[in-house]
Amino acid sequence: MGPVGLRRVQCAGNETLLTLCDNSTSETAQAGIAQDVGVVCSVQTRPHGLPVGLH
């Protein structure tokens, strides 16, 4: 078990930092390793080069 930094994160796709996404934080929340996640942000482009957004 360890501290939870961000909970219930919801991003619109235009955020430049994960911490700018809507989220719920709780200093007392604890999570086990089975609830750990990783995040990879990237910009997808259409064939003509226009960005689609962060996914």
Over residues 31-41, the pLDDT tens digits come to: 666 767 777 76
What distance in Å separates the CA atoms of residue 29 and residue 49, rounded to the nearest whole number? 42
**Who contacts 20 (Cβ-Cβ below 8 Å, separation ≥6)?**
none
Q: What mean pLDDT value characterizes the chain?
A: 70
The token duo for 15 is 């955020």
In this prediction the pTM is 0.45
Note whether 40 and 54 are within 8 A (CB). no
Element (H, E) at 39: none
Q: Burial, 52: exposed, middle or buried (Cβ in 10 Å; 0-12, 13-18, 19+)?
A: exposed
Residues, the chain? 55
